[in-house]
């Protein structure tokens, strides 16, 4: 029995050695030290041995960045709303509908978010929607020290806000160049998701898209060119840091797309280049100095390309050039396709908005366009998007809170809503203003004069371009 068993084993071994010898003699040679594997038809397959050193290591970035990310707790006492208004979905999540006068009265509510220390003397960047309307702001550092914070300034257009605490010698995050981020690059999200109990939570993901904008029910003008990642982000992460493997700040986590209110796979951050420009303006000037190119248009897709008989499939199609604006003076025309500004490629409207927003009024750049199939480079000097109310433009329109007005039949027409307070409150192109603070208006100067006399707020009534009644209001600048 044993003898028969040994014969079978030896036969198997000899068969295996013979087969190995045949394959070895016919297969391509492998480098010394490499392991060889073969498919069923004798094709060689290289075997790669992975070790722990082959996986991304986030320890430096995490340990370097976590101390510069703070927990932000806010208290808000909403005003009773006389008429239903659009409510920021982020605030709706933080405070609930009843906190805005829908069933709950004027009760104080609390919410939370995150922030990033950008200067050792206590300057912290967060989201506008985190601190908007807050009566008190409390900041807790990673070392558990707590401070009262004040708002230095905010920019609803980019959803960026700057707050400050009375402290010194704080750890900070350095800004990175977000334009250099690459698709597939690893990033970390750091913040306080779902409340104080999960402070200083770190998650990892990759850059899954750039230049993203998101659909919204709001009529507010927004500059959106988000970095999209699959790093897990939840409510409470708003205002926290998105960092690269070097521990540098590449974005401020701002939003998620979700049907449940919780993370479902995608998160969005405001690029650091936008954030840096906004906070620098808030520190230096107290408000954002926004450059204006002076064009309207949209992203080119197949439908737009066919409609306008374009030979390109990406870029921004210019449908109108504002008369007397920076683009007009530079020589841009209706029908041009904007493909770049300086060395930055423009493939969609969010790219254009983000790049223009990185400039100050008076800055110069080169706008690259395609016109009738010919590439042109046009030098442009950006104008101020924050023109003083009452200023008369070269086309006869009158500036009013970022918009351009002109006289119309039975009122004053909003020729261009722009990106200022009027647009943020709900003003749209083509809207005809008939009353301001219950006073009838017939020319742009009427609107300016009534607003100037108002002590606190401005309430506008009129009809939209389709003749439907509408109204909106906003607080007056002090």
Q: Which of 88, 112, 114, 129 is catalytic?
A: 129
The helix or strand, by DSSP H or E, that contains position 249, with its residue range, turns out to be: strand 249-256
Backbone angles phi, psi at 381, to 5 degrees: -115, 115
- The whole-angstrom separation of Cα 433 and Cα 119 is 44
Q: SS3 sequence, 128-162?
A: HHHHCCEEEEEEECCCCCEEEEEEEEEECCCCEEE
What is the DSSP code string of 420-439?
SHHHHHT--TT-EEEEETTE
Active site residue 159: yes
Comparing C-alpha atoms, which of 289, 294, 291 is closest to residue 415?
294
Active site residue 238: yes
Dihedral sign of CA atoms 245, 246, 251, 253 in order: positive
Q: Which of 159, 281, 328, 446 is catalytic?
A: 159
Beta carbons within 8 Å of 184's beta carbon, 6+ residues apart = 206, 207
Q: Compute and round to an integer the Cα radius of gyration of the chain.
A: 29
- The whole-angstrom separation of Cα 269 and Cα 225 is 9
The helix or strand, by DSSP H or E, that contains position 5, with its residue range, turns out to be: helix 2-26
Q: Which of 112, 192, 238, 416 is catalytic?
A: 238
Beta carbons within 8 Å of 423's beta carbon, 6+ residues apart = 220, 221, 402, 403, 417
Residues assigned a catalytic role: 129, 159, 238
């Amino acid at each position: 029995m044993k003898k028969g068993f040994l014969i079978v084993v030896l036969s198997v071994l000899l068969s295996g050695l013979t087969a190995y010898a045949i394959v070895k003699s016919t297969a391509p040679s492998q480098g010394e030290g490499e392991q060889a594997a073969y498919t069923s038809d004798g094709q060689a397959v290289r075997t790669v041995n992975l070790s722990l050193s082959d996986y991304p290591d986030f320890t430096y970035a995490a340990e370097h960045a976590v101390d510069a990310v703070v927990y932000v707790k806010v208290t808000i006492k909403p005003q009773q709303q006389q008429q239903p208004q659009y409510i920021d979905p982020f605030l709706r999540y933080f405070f609930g509908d009843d906190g805005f006068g829908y069933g709950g009265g004027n009760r104080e509510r609390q919410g939370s978010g995150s922030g990033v220390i950008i200067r050792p003397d206590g300057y912290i960047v967060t989201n506008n929607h985190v601190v908007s309307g807050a009566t008190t702001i409390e900041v807790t550092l990673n070392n558990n020290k707590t401070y009262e914070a004040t708002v230095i300034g905010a920019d609803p257009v980019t959803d960026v806000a700057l707050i400050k605490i009375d402290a010194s010698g704080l750890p900070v995050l350095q800004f990175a160049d977000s334009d250099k981020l690459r698709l597939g690059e690893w990033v970390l999200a750091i913040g306080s998701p779902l409340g104080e109990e999960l402070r200083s939570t770190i998650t990892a993901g990759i850059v899954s898209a750039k230049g993203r904008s998101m659909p919204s029910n709001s009529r507010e003008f927004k500059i959106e060119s988000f970095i999209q990642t699959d790093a897990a982000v939840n409510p409470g992460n708003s205002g926290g840091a998105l960092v690269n493997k070097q521990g540098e700040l590449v974005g401020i986590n701002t939003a998620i797309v979700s049907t449940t209110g919780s993370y479902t796979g995608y998160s969005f951050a405001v690029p650091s280049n936008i954030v840096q420009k906004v906070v620098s303006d808030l520190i230096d000037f107290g408000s954002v100095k926004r450059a204006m190119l002076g064009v309207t248009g949209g992203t080119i897709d197949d439908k737009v390309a066919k409609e306008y008989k374009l030979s390109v499939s990406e870029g921004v199609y210019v449908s109108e050039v504002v008369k007397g604006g920076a683009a007009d003076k530079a020589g841009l025309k209706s029908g041009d396709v904007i493909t770049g500004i300086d060395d930055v490629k423009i493939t969609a409207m969010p790219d254009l908005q983000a790049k223009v927003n990185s400039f100050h009024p008076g800055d110069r750049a080169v706008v690259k366009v395609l016109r009738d199939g010919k590439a042109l480079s046009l030098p442009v000097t950006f104008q101020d998007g924050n023109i003083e109310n009452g200023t008369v433009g070269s086309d006869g329109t009158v500036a009013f809170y970022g918009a351009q007005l002109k006289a119309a039949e039975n009122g004053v027409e909003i020729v261009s809503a722009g990106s200022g307070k009027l647009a943020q409150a709900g003003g749209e192109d083509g809207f005809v203003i008939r009353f301001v603070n219950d006073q009838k208006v017939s020319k742009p100067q009427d609107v300016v004069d009534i607003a100037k006399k108002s002590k606190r707020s401005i309430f506008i009534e009129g009809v939209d371009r389709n003749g439907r009644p509408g109204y909106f209001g906003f607080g007056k600048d002090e």
